[in-house]
A and B are shown apart, each in its own frame.
Chain A
Amino acid sequence: MAKHWGQHLLKQILRVMLLMAATSIVTFMLMKLSPIDPLQANVGQNALGSMSQEQIAKLREYWGVGADPVKQYLSWAKDFCRGDMGISLLYRQPVRNVIAVKLSNSLLLLAFAWVMSGILGFLLGILAAMYQGRLPDRIIKGYCIIISSTPTFWLALLLLLCFGVWLKVLPIGLSVPIGVEAAGVTLGDRIYHAILPALTLSITGISNIALHTREKMIEIMESDMVLFSKARGESRWAMFRYHGFRNALLPAITLQFASISEIFGGSVLVEQVFSYPGLGQAAVSAGLGSDLPLLMAITLISSAFVFGGNFLADLLYGIIDPRIRRGGQHI
């Protein structure tokens, strides 16, 4: 048993290391192939024109233009493995500090959206399936299909327009009020500013889990198990409580943990729309500004999150599903 788990863990560690290596290489290559000239993007054509050749050569060195990519990658990788993520070229601060700030901003958003979309999506999916073909089902299904086919950024713009511009009840962007000292920002302020982006992410996250849960639940409602439950005179509520809930929850959990990647991806666009200074926005500016160390670090941290989510789903499944938990013990 212990050996079995040890092997499993070792395999996963190996897997995450391979994933990291592959992701970093691909990101690095994409960055190098990018048509964006770091000097033009960050210094500007006019400024470059008025500079001496020496100054330009210095800048080229700073932004790593013309350097041997293999050498550059290897030296980055060496430092990264030692825990040194380098200095952000744009922020002129250690990448570690930049990420710490951005991540703490984003985590609030991501966690809220993830939990909300998970719980609401699951409940709506169940509701739709229990009333399959009837009005609640049609409303929920319609909502999910409309939302799945709506681009996240467009929905963000719509909400921004509605609540920020017309109703003026929520801020139009940023994570803190404008013109307030950093020390004077309260948690309330932060939450107030996170509402719209978090709402956008939740609304889009719901449809996926709701549609999947609905499918699974319909399958359960048509099973022999539910037919027998009906023959035993169990009420709709008992049927849900004793049979439906448990059996539908397992796939929902897997899906929800696997969907961390989608929420992460969605946050890039949503943060951009709301000028919310989170990890997603930092990724965009790092990409457009050729900030190689920052972009590499953000990419790797994001993939670590996604991997972590899938890994947790894997583990949780083994803990929650008795067939895996107890079944494993017999092997």
Chain B
Amino acid sequence: MKDMTEQNVIKSTSLLTIEHLNISFTQYESGIHRRVLSVIQDLNVQIHTGELVAIVGSSGSGKSLLAHAVLDILPYNASMEGKLNYCGMPLTKDRIRRLRGSEIVLVPQSIGCLDPLMKIGPQLVKGRKDAASKRCMSSILHYLGLEEELSDAYPFELSGGMNRRVLIGTALAEQPKLVIADEPTPGLDPAIADRVIKYFRDMADQGIGVLLITHDLELALRAADRIVVFYAGNTVEEALPEDFRNESSLRHPYTKALWRAMPQNGFQPLAGTQPYVRDLKEGCPFADRCSMYTEACSQKIPYRALRSGYVRCLYAE
């Protein structure tokens, strides 16, 4: 644990910078017809030490792939372009392979990621048996509010919420600088989801950079330092949680629609659905649901700075 002064110093340094990230899949259709499916376009995110950045988007927007790209565990038919920088140096594949699982850790989406035939304790510390790992194991269990006897249990003996905490524990067992949490809360009731999100907030407060990928905007607003809104493989807006107090301080029409859909802000759903990547056209992905659409929106839209945030919209102000 780092004290407050050190924390404030490291807060300013950039940990992970993702610039112009594109991820695409190569697929074969009806036998030999090959097509390239672009799932993430021109993604830009920056995470500083001690900062929790939430990437919010609905299911199918390609959020999880971002986590996989940073850890170099994309499927074999996926390819990525763009610039990844970690601690000021390019994050090459060699470097990722050295850092993943130690400095850069993943909290995965599915509790199916746990080995069904390995006990919780060894699973937390990757099977290490030294005294330090044992101590680490019990302190993590204690921290997560799990009984120490559970280190001898198998995943099937734990509830879904407990297994989720075990997944978080796997991140804590290393001394990470960057934690990437891929949907850590689905299927949890609000009280437990709140608790889970608090673990990530605590990590950030201790100086760890946290990238939280979620579909739960409300949850993200409660813990994040910055919110990046993701729509159909595009980052459409980057905002501060404070910006979500009023619709007028938000930038992109999609974010505004999200805001209006929240229960306390009128609960108005937005007509239409997020386009499937296969049907995406050049230009703004939100075009066919937007009231401000013009001819110009079918061109490539730049991601520009606006009022201490970013937006990918020609008409946002």
Chain A residues within 8 Å of B, Cβ to Cβ: 223-225, 227-234, 238, 241-243, 246-247, 250, 321-323, 326-327
B105 to chain A, nearest CB (A): 7
Give the distance in Å from the alpha carbon of A26 to the alpha carbon of B8 in the complex: 85
Neighbour of A223 across the interface among B100, B112, B154, B170, CB < 8 A: B112
B80 to chain A, nearest CB (A): 16
Contact B71 A246 (CB under 8 A): no
Given A246-B115, A323-B156, 17 other A-B residues pairs in contact with their CB atoms under 8 A = A227-B113, A228-B113, A228-B114, A230-B73, A231-B100, A231-B106, A232-B106, A233-B99, A233-B101, A238-B126, A243-B118, A246-B117, A247-B115, A247-B116, A247-B117, A321-B117, A326-B154
Give the distance in Å from the alpha carbon of A323 to the alpha carbon of B157 in the complex: 8
Main secondary structure of the interface of A (DSSP, over half): helix
How many interface residues does B have (CB within 8 Å)?
Answer: 26
State whether A232 and B100 are in contact (beta carbons under 8 Å apart), knowing that A223-B112, A224-B113 are contacts in the complex: yes
Neighbour of B126 across the interface among A242, A246, A250, A327, CB < 8 A: A242
Contact B118 A246 (CB under 8 A): yes
Contact B106 A228 (CB under 8 A): yes
Contacts of A224 in B (CB 8 A): 108, 110, 112-113
8 closest A-B pairs (Cβ-Cβ)? A233-B101, A228-B113, A232-B101, A231-B106, A246-B117, A224-B112, A224-B113, A233-B100
Give the distance in Å from the alpha carbon of A327 to the alpha carbon of B115 in the complex: 16
Contact B154 A243 (CB under 8 A): no
Chain B residues within 8 Å of A, Cβ to Cβ: 71, 73, 97-102, 105-106, 108, 110, 112-118, 122, 126-127, 154, 156-157, 170
Give the distance in Å from the alpha carbon of A225 to the alpha carbon of B99 in the complex: 19
- Closest A residue to B108 using CB positions: A228
Give the distance in Å from the alpha carbon of A327 to the alpha carbon of B118 in the complex: 15
Give the distance in Å from the alpha carbon of A250 to the alpha carbon of B116 in the complex: 12
Contact A242 B118 (CB under 8 A): yes
Contacts of B122 in A (CB 8 A): 242
Contact A233 B73 (CB under 8 A): no
Give the distance in Å from the alpha carbon of A241 to the alpha carbon of B122 in the complex: 13
Give the distance in Å from the alpha carbon of A227 to the alpha carbon of B71 in the complex: 10
Give the distance in Å from the alpha carbon of A238 to the alpha carbon of B157 in the complex: 24
State whether A327 and B101 are in contact (beta carbons under 8 Å apart), knowing that A225-B113, A225-B114, A225-B115 are contacts in the complex: no
Contacts of A233 in B (CB 8 A): 97-102
Contact A323 B116 (CB under 8 A): yes
B141 to chain A, nearest CB (A): 18
B270 to chain A, nearest CB (A): 32
Give the distance in Å from the alpha carbon of A232 to the alpha carbon of B97 in the complex: 9
- Closest B residue to A231 using CB positions: B106
A227 to chain B, nearest CB (A): 6
Contacts of A225 in B (CB 8 A): 112-116
Contacts of B116 in A (CB 8 A): 225, 247, 323
Most buried by B among A227, A229, A326: A227
Contacts of A326 in B (CB 8 A): 154, 157
